[in-house]
Chain A
Amino acid sequence: MSIAVSETLPDAQGHFGQYGGRYVPETLMYPLQQLEAEYFRAQHDPEFQAELTYYLRQFVGRPTPLYLAERLTRELGGAKIYLKREDLNHTGAHKINNAMGQILLAKRMGKTRIIAETGAGQHGVATATVAAMFGLKCVIYMGQVDCERQALNVYRMKMLGAEVVSVTAGQKTLKEAVNEAMRDWVTNVRGTHYILGTAYGAHPYPVMVRNFQRIIGDEARRQILEQEERLPNLLIACVGGGSNAIGLFYPFLGDEGVKMLGVEAGGEGIIPERHAARFQGGSLGVLQGTRSYILQDENGQIQLTHSVSAGLDYAAVGPEHAWLRDEGRVEYGYATDDQALNAFTKLARLEGIIPALESAHAVAAVIDRAPKMSKDDLIIVNLSGRGDKDVAQAAQKLGLKLPV
């Protein structure tokens, strides 16, 4: 597949082949068209790009390092492993790349209020952060279950001045938070911008979020060429909605020799309602604005999901990923809760880096793949976030106790 093919997508209506599009209530159609028009104007506006670059450098701390994981490489005995350190961004994950882009867009559109959904809380924290920075009112929707398992991030959002609304509908996780954010948006659309946090939803969100996140891949590509003078053999990233993965993959799509692996949440194994691996147990459907793979029952009701990681615990996957899978360009696998927890510990002990449980799914895939590859091969894994938020939950799962 040539880069030209992927650069022509999505089409004018936001379709990636049969995926994507814009499936929303009429009230949101015109606001989405306005957002699309403003985004594409901003994308080609050097002033906007310069402002974004400035804040990404001076506030977020970009570029993030591409770090050779020496002990992990030695331990696994195969391919050389590089970590793209998105965990070192201000606020602790890749989410701020997109939040920063969208807040500048919101400002440009004269919006005075910001809303967002969040699962693990990283996108909520990133959004609350940029809203505080620019003095905009901010409301974050978060499932009640996620509020409990990611309590640290709830406190962070509140400290940053955001209102956090705990969503008690359905299974009380990310999907319900998105529903509630969309209900808010449809009610307050004239003055409010919805900073959707992943490469999902109605057009233009999937393409816009991808383009704000492609800085991960753009940097990684430049860095690996500087450090190794060649391209990697394999890219690995975890896939919830899929923003960190598409951000890393996108700039490499035209590089034929670079293989790519997206890792979904296998939960307790591929049993209905016990996982969140849409490409394993899902089927084609339409949810929350877009057409993609979703976990649903035979009547079209959305199924329950499970993952140890709140950020991957979601019933649908970004439409561009569904398209890349059909094209055979990206392979999608999964890691279970146990494999992710094992990777979480391993990276901490071998590299001194505690990853987010989401990113630990990608590291689990590295543990599986690296030993099967040659020592001359290169892997880049996206360490999309850091694990501070997961410490309490992981300690419980791993049976760690405080000294008495």
Chain B
Amino acid sequence: MNRITERFARLKKDGQKGFIVYIGAGDPNLEATRELALAFDQAGVDVLELGVPFSDPLADGLVNQLAAQRGLESGTTPVKVMETVAAIRKKSQIPIVFYIYFNLMHRHGLEKFINDAAKAGVDGFLTLDLPPEESDNYEALMAKAGLAVIYLVAPTTPDERIELIVKRGTGFIYYVSREGVTGMQQKVADTIGEMTAKIRAHTDLPIAVGFGISNPEQARTVAASAEAIVVGSAIVNQIAQHGKSSDLVPKVIEFTSSLIKATKR
């Protein structure tokens, strides 16, 4: 069974909420990414999303743009991110998702990219700019490789599109809690419960909610209406602050643990 599906099955059995972390791969370098991944696993993170750095991340806010820039500056390429995942796999079975822009896999050759990632130990892709309408071939190749196709649902997604998307998604559904790019927010959107209920009417897939969650209180609130929450920019921001320091990993884990504690029962 795919590690993502397995993890959500276990969370369900335990009556527990999932905690998903996003970081930019290669920020500040890939060795740090490997160490962070192992530490996240130890700290109780359920799924790790690795942002594969791209020159033109148009769905990302400033914090993640800068992380991608640092990733590119440290020489991070999609192939090197896969090698890092293979290195993580020697010690950890934490489910890993690539958060990626389509051109990076398109350039590598779609089939080769998917197979190489699966071989490295990646469990699924969240391809920001690849909607179901352009995904026939992608979905078939992903299924063949045993990788989860994680689709986004947005506040602007109408009911009939939700139905189309959840039919084609696997692993989990990622609900983007507000219109906008990634980034920390003062306040979480108040429409989350309503939208996750709408999605749930069409699917049994677990729902993860992300975009904008940055403190324990927000984590607790959002976790009430979803199977999992995603925290990205707030953690990336910690990496930006402590990236050059020797205690990067403990600092990031300390921050992350407070959010995990708020999410878990």
**Partner-B contacts on A (CB < 8 A):** 13, 21-31, 169-170, 175-176, 178-179, 182-183, 186-190, 283-289, 291, 294, 296, 298-302
Q: Are A190 and B154 in contact, CB atoms less than 8 angstroms apart?
A: no
Residues of B within 8 A of A294 (CB): 103
Most buried by B among A176, A287, A302: A287
Q: Within the assembled complex, what's the spacing in Å between the Cα atoms of A46 and B211?
A: 43
Residues of B within 8 A of A178 (CB): 58
Complex interface: stretch among B26-34, B39-47, B127-135? B127-135
Q: Are B131 and A302 in contact, CB atoms less than 8 angstroms apart?
A: no
Residues of B within 8 A of A28 (CB): 156
Q: Are A31 and B152 in contact, CB atoms less than 8 angstroms apart?
A: no
Instruction: Write the nearest CB–CB distance from A165 to chain B, whole angstroms.
Output: 13
B134: nearest chain-A partner, CB-CB: A21
Can you report 17 A-B residue pairs in the complex whose CB atoms are below 8 A from each other? Answer: A25-B58, A25-B176, A27-B154, A27-B156, A27-B157, A29-B133, A29-B161, A170-B55, A179-B58, A183-B180, A186-B179, A190-B156, A286-B129, A287-B56, A287-B103, A289-B129, A302-B55
Closest 7 CB pairs of A and B: A300-B107, A27-B154, A187-B180, A26-B152, A300-B104, A301-B55, A179-B58
Query: Of residues 91 to 140 in B, which have CB atoms within 8 Å of A's CB atoms?
Result: 102-108, 128-131, 133-134
Residues of B within 8 A of A26 (CB): 131, 151-154, 156-157, 165, 176
**Partner-A contacts on B (CB < 8 A):** 54-59, 61, 65, 72, 77-79, 102-108, 128-131, 133-134, 151-158, 161, 165, 176, 179-181
> Looking at the complex, which one of B61, B107, B154 makes contact with A296 (CB distance below 8 Å)?
B107
Known contacts A21-B134, A25-B59, A186-B180; is A169 also within 8 Å of B155 by CB?
Answer: no
Residues of B within 8 A of A182 (CB): 58
A188: nearest chain-B partner, CB-CB: B179
Q: Are B128 and A286 in contact, CB atoms less than 8 angstroms apart?
A: no
Q: Are B103 and A30 in contact, CB atoms less than 8 angstroms apart?
A: no
Residues of A within 8 A of B153 (CB): 26
Q: Are A299 and B78 in contact, CB atoms less than 8 angstroms apart?
A: yes
Instruction: Write the nearest CB–CB distance from B53 to chain A, whole angstroms.
Output: 8
Q: Are A22 and B134 in contact, CB atoms less than 8 angstroms apart?
A: yes
Q: Within the assembled complex, what's the spacing in Å between the Cα atoms of A190 and B79?
A: 38
Most buried by B among A26, A179, A285, A291: A26
